[in-house]
Each structure stands twice: as C-alpha cells, then as structure tokens.
Structure 1
Amino acid sequence: CRKLGVTQSMGAVGSSADNALAESFNATMKREVLQDAACWSDELTCRRQVFRWLVRYNTKRRHSWCRYTPPVAFETGYTATLRPAA
C-alpha cells in the first residue's frame, strides 16, 4: 500500500471493523427487513422494525455457523461447556 500511495483499510479480517462482515450483515438486514420496500414511512417505524429484526436475529433465527441454532442458545450452551483456565 505504501509503494502505491494507497491508504489501507483500518479493519482487519475477523475484527468488528471488517468491512466484508459489516456489508454482509447490512445486506441481510436490508433483505429481511425492507423486503422490496424502498424506505420506511418514518424514523420511529424504522427503529421499531430494525429492533424487532435484531431481537429475532439474535434469539430465534438459526445460523449455519452455530450448528443451526440461534446465537443466544449456542453461546449459552458453549460457555457452559468451557473448562476453567489453568
């Protein structure tokens, strides 16, 4: 990047600033919440629908990366099986 004079992205793969991860999440949210609508009628409606989707996404929606269980159930089961560090 220095040789070419290009500013490198501040995110690293797998970090919270990873652009690919953020883009994937945003695309999923848009696809599942907007469902072919161009926009929401007002800000309050937008906030409510996004919040409702986020609750479902984290507590009920099954994800392939966590053995087709909701993330909350996966994390609860996973942390319960961790052994204490030595």
Structure 2
Amino acid sequence: MGDFKTRRHIFKAKDLQKEGNAFSLIGSSGKVLGMALKSCEKSTKPIYVSVGHRISLDTALRLTHSCCKYRVPEPIRQADIRSREYIRKNVNVS
C-alpha cells in the first residue's frame, strides 16, 4: 500500500469525523488499495484496512470496525497486551 498519494490522504483523514467513517486509498495507478477507517469516536488517527485471502474490502472493513472498541481492533490489542505480559514475566532483562 505504499504508493497512494500521501498529501491527499492526510487531507482526507481530517474529514473522518464519526466512528465508522472511511475513505478509499487509491494508488497512482487508480486502483483501490485499501481503506482508511476511523475505528472509534476518540481516535484521532485512522487505521488501514486492505483485502485478505478470500475476503472483500467491504467485508474486511465491516469486520474490522465491528472488532474496534478502542482504536486498535480487539484481537490485535489483546495479543499485544498478552505478549507484553509474557515478556515482562518470562524474559530476563540484564
């Protein structure tokens, strides 16, 4: 997703006012590469959603938004919390 136009993206990100608002990320070729999504009301930065194996962009966007209680989707948030806890308890820092 590295070839979309950055300035236009920054301008559009400011237009994401309400939770669930999204806009397409369009590459220089004109192809839709993904979507930027305002995942929750308090979020000031969008998250980026793209297609996956056997899932459409629309479905990926809806599924991602349904998993967002906070900015980061809950499965990723929980994995981060648990991995940090494991490291804190089990990895010796010298």
TM-score (norm 1): 0.26
Larger relative contact order, structure 1 or 2 (CA cutoff 8 Å, min sep 6): 2
The structure with the largest alpha-carbon Rg is 1
Greater fraction of residues in strand: 2
TM-score by length of 2: 0.24
